[in-house]
Structure 1
Amino acid sequence: MQALMLAAGMGKRLGKYTKGSAKCMVEVAGEKLVDRVIEAVEQAGIERFIIVTGHAGEELRSYIEEKFKDSSIEFVFVHNSNYDKSNNIYSLYMAKEYLEQDDTILLESDLIFDKNIVKNVVQYPSENVVTVAKYEPWMDGTVTLLTEEDYIKEFVEKKDFKFKRKGEYYKTVNIYKFSKEFSQKTYVPFLEAYIKSYGTNEYYELVLKAISHLSCSCLKAYKLSNEKWYEIDDAQDLDIANTLFSKGEEKLKLFQKRFGGYWRFEGVKDYCYLVNPYFPPKRMVSQMKDNYLELLTQYPSGMYVQSINAGRMFGVDESEILVGNGAAEIINGLDTILQGSVGVTIPTFNEYVRCFRNCTLETIDSSKNDYRLSKEALIELSKRVDNLVIVNPDNPSGSFIKYEDLIEIIEACEARGTKIIIDESFIDFANEEVRYTLIDSKILNKYKNLMVIKSISKSYGVPGLRLGVIASSDKELLQRLKAAMAVWNINSFGEYFLQIITLYEKDYKAACNLIAAERNRFIEELKNISFLKVYPSQANYVLCELKDGFKSKEMAIELLEKDNVLIKDLGEKTTFEGKEFIRLAVRDEEDNNYLLNVLKAYE
Structure 2
Amino acid sequence: MDSKYKTQEEKYEYIANQHGGYYRHNFTDHAYLYNLYFPPKEIFSHLKENIEDLVLNYPMAQNALAELIGNVINQPTERIVVGNGAAEIIKILSSSLAKKIIIPVPSFNEYVNAAPKGNAVEFPLEFPSFQLDVDKFADEAIKIGADMAVVVTPNNPTSIVVPKADLIRLAEKLKPSNCMLIIDESFLDFANDKEQISLEQDICKYPNMAILKSMSKAYGICGLRIGYMLTANVDFAKVVRNGIHIWNINGFAEEFLRILPQYKQEFEASCNKVKVDRDLFYKQLCTIDGMTVFKPDANYIFCRLPDTALSGPEVTKRLFIKHNIYIKDSVGKTQPDADRYIRIASRTPEENTTLIAALKEVMYE
3-state DSSP of counterpart to 1:383: helix
- Matching residue within 186, 193, 198 for 1:432: 193
Query: How far has the Cα of 1:362 moved from its partner?
Result: 2.4
Task: State which drifts further: 580-589 or 403-412.
Answer: 403-412
- Matching residue within 356, 360, 363 for 1:600: 360
Query: How far has the Cα of 1:435 moved from its partner?
Result: 5.1
Cα 1:257/1:366, change in 2 over 3 Å: same
Corresponding residue of 1:461 = 220
In structure 2, what residue type is equivalent to 1:388? A
- Is 2:153 aligned against 1:392? yes
3-state DSSP of counterpart to 1:522: helix
- Matching residue within 112, 120, 125 for 1:366: 125
- Is 2:19 aligned against 1:259? yes
Query: How far has the Cα of 1:550 moved from its partner?
Result: 1.7
Query: How far has the Cα of 1:247 moved from its partner?
Result: 5.2
Query: How far has the Cα of 1:390 moved from its partner?
Result: 0.3
* 8 Å contact from structure 1 (residues 324, 468) kept in 2: yes
Corresponding residue of 1:510 = 269
Cα 1:531/1:255, change in 2 over 3 Å: farther
- Matching residue within 501, 505, 509 for 2:260: 501
* 8 Å contact from structure 1 (residues 427, 435) kept in 2: no
Q: Distance in 1 between matches of 2:137 and 2:253?
A: 35
Between 1 and 2, higher relative CO (CA 8 Å, sep ≥ 6) is seen in 2
Corresponding residue of 1:169 = none
Cα 1:555/1:535, change in 2 over 3 Å: same
Cα 1:435/1:281, change in 2 over 3 Å: farther
Q: Distance in 1 between matches of 2:96 and 2:269?
A: 37
Corresponding residue of 2:134 = 375
- Is 2:260 aligned against 1:530? no
Corresponding residue of 2:43 = 284
Q: Distance in 2 between matches of 1:269 and 1:322?
A: 34
TM-score relative to the length of structure 2 = 0.92
* 8 Å contact from structure 1 (residues 373, 400) kept in 2: no
Q: How many residues align?
A: 360
Q: Distance in 1 between matches of 2:189 and 2:314?
A: 33
Corresponding residue of 1:565 = 325
After superposition, residues 164-563 of structure 1 pair within 5 angstroms as 229-230=1-2, 241-242=3-4, 244-246=5-7, 248=9, 251-266=11-26, 268-357=27-116, 360-366=119-125, 368-384=127-143, 385-432=146-193, 436-440=197-201, 443-547=202-306, 548-563=308-323
In structure 2, what residue type is equivalent to 1:592? N
Cα 1:381/1:509, change in 2 over 3 Å: farther
* 8 Å contact from structure 2 (residues 126, 132) kept in 1: no
Q: Distance in 2 between matches of 1:352 and 1:433?
A: 24
Deviations 1:185-238 (A, max 9, x none): xxxxxxxxxxxxxxxxxxxxxxxxxxxxxxxxxxxxxxxxxxxx34xxxxxxxx
Identity score, percent: 32
Cα 1:531/1:294, change in 2 over 3 Å: farther
Cα 1:415/1:460, change in 2 over 3 Å: same
Q: Distance in 2 between matches of 1:578 and 1:301?
A: 44
In structure 2, what residue type is equivalent to 1:501? L
* 8 Å contact from structure 1 (residues 367, 575) kept in 2: no
Query: How far has the Cα of 1:411 moved from its partner?
Result: 1.6
- Matching residue within 331, 334, 339 for 1:574: 334
In structure 2, what residue type is equivalent to 1:262? Y
Query: How far has the Cα of 1:361 moved from its partner?
Result: 2.4
Task: State which drifts further: 473-482 or 536-545.
Answer: 473-482
Which has more helix, going by share of residues?
2
Query: How far has the Cα of 1:342 moved from its partner?
Result: 1.4
Q: Distance in 1 between matches of 2:255 and 2:189?
A: 22
Q: Distance in 2 between matches of 1:578 and 1:497?
A: 38
* 8 Å contact from structure 2 (residues 101, 121) kept in 1: yes
Query: How far has the Cα of 1:359 moved from its partner?
Result: 6.0
Q: Distance in 2 between matches of 1:284 and 1:368?
A: 44
Cα 1:578/1:351, change in 2 over 3 Å: closer
In structure 2, what residue type is equivalent to 1:393? P
Q: Structure 2: where are the runs of 5+ without partners?
A: none
Query: How far has the Cα of 1:381 moved from its partner?
Result: 2.7
In structure 2, what residue type is equivalent to 1:522? F
3-state DSSP of counterpart to 2:183: strand
In structure 2, what residue type is equivalent to 1:392? T
Task: State which drifts further: 492-501 or 556-565.
Answer: 556-565
Task: State which drifts further: 390-399 or 402-411.
Answer: 402-411
Cα 1:602/1:577, change in 2 over 3 Å: closer
In structure 2, what residue type is equivalent to 1:493? F
In structure 2, what residue type is equivalent to 1:457? S
Corresponding residue of 1:117 = none
Q: Structure 1: where are the runs of 5+ without partners?
A: 1-228, 231-240
